[in-house]
Structure 1
Amino acid sequence: MTSEKTVLITGTSSGIGLAAAVAAAQAGWTVVATMRDTGKAEALLKAAAEHAVTDRIQVKRLDVVDPDSIATCLDEVIAEHGRLDALVNNAGAAQVGTIEQMSLDDVRAAMEVNFFGVVAATRAALPHLRASRGRVITVTSVGGAVGQPFNEAYCAAKFAVEGFMQSLDPVAATVGVDVIVVEPGAVASEFVANIGLDVPALLAAAGPYAPALQAYVARTQKSFGNAQTPSEAAASIIEALTGDRPPFRVQTSEWAREFVGTTLADLDGSAVQALTRAWLR
Structure 2
Amino acid sequence: MADKVVLITGTSTGIGLAVAAAAVRAGYRTVATLRNPDKAGPVRETGADVRRLDVTDSASITECIDGVVADYGRLDAVVNNAGVSVFGTVEHLPMSEIRRAMDVNYFGVVEVTKAAMPHLRATKGRVVTVTSVGGAVGQPFNEAYCAAKFAVEGFMQSLEPVAATVGVGVSIIEPGAVTTEFVANAHIDPAAVVAEAGPYAPALNAYINRTRSAYSTGQTADQVAAVVMSALTAYPIVFRWQTSDYARSFVASSLSDLDGSIVAGITSHWIR
**TM-score, with length taken from structure 1:** 0.96
Between stretches 34-43 and 140-149, larger displacement belongs to 34-43
Partner of 1:239: 230
- Separation (CA, whole Å) in 2 of partners of 1:3 and 1:198: 45
Task: Give the Cα–Cα distance (whole angstroms) in 1 for the partners of residues 65 and 264 of structure 2.
Answer: 42
Aligned to 1:19: 18
Aligned counterpart for 1:89 among listed residues 80, 89, 113: 80
Partner of residue 201, structure 2: 210
2:104 counterpart residue number: 113
* Aligned match of 2:41: 42
* Cα distance in structure 2, aligned partners of 1:118 and 1:237: 16
SS of corresponding position for 2:30: strand
Give the 4+ runs in structure 1 shifted more than 3 A.
none
Question: CA shift at 1:92, angstroms?
Answer: 0.1
Question: How many angstroms apart in 2 are the aligned matches of 1:264 and 1:243?
Answer: 23
Structure 2: distance between partners of 1:244 and 1:24: 18
Q: For 1:141 and 1:67, locate their aligned partners in 2 and report how far apart those are by CA, in whole Å.
A: 24
Shift of 1:120: 0.4
TM-superposition CA deviations, 1:33-75 (whole Å, max 9, x none): 00001110111223x1xxxxx2xx1000000000100000011
Shift of 1:244: 1.9
Report deviation, 1:221. Answer: 0.1
Deviations 1:69-116 (A, max 9, x none): 000001110111000000000000001100000111111111000000
Shift of 1:200: 1.1
Specify the alignment match of 2:174 in structure 1. 183
- Calculate the TM-score normalised by the size of structure 2: 0.99
| Corresponding residue of 1:30 | 29
The answer as to 2:129 corresponding to 1:138 is: yes
Q: Which deviations, in whole Å up to 9, do the C-alpha atoms of 1:197-250 show, x marking residues without a partner?
A: 011110110000000000000000000010000000111100011222231000
Q: Which residue of 2 aligns with 1:103?
A: 94
Deviation at 1:32, TM superposition (A): 0.3
Aligned residue identity for 1:10: T
Q: Quick one: which of 50, 64, 67 aligns to 1:59?
A: 50
CA-CA distance at 1:14 after TM superposition: 0.4
Question: What is the distance in 2 between the residues matched to 1:222 and 1:95?
Answer: 19
Q: Give unpaired runs (5+ residues) of structure 2.
A: none
Looking at structure 1, the residues matched to 42 and 178 of structure 2 have their Cα atoms a distance apart, in angstroms, of 18
**What residue number does 1:226 align with?**
217
Cα RMSD, aligned residues only: 0.6
User: Which residue of the partner structure matches residue 151 of structure 2?
Assistant: 160
Describe the SS at the equivalent of 1:244: coil
**CA distance in 2: counterparts of 1:40 and 1:244, whole angstroms:** 35
Equivalent residue letter for 2:225: A
Instruction: State the secondary structure of the residue aligned to 2:271.
Output: coil
Once the two structures are superposed, residues 236-268 of structure 1 have per-residue CA deviations (whole angstroms, 9 ceiling, x without a partner) of 100011222231000011110000000011110
* Counterpart residue identity of residue 29, structure 1: Y
| Of 243, 247, 264, the match for 1:252 | 243
User: Given the alignment, which residue of 258, 272, 281 partners 2:263?
Assistant: 272
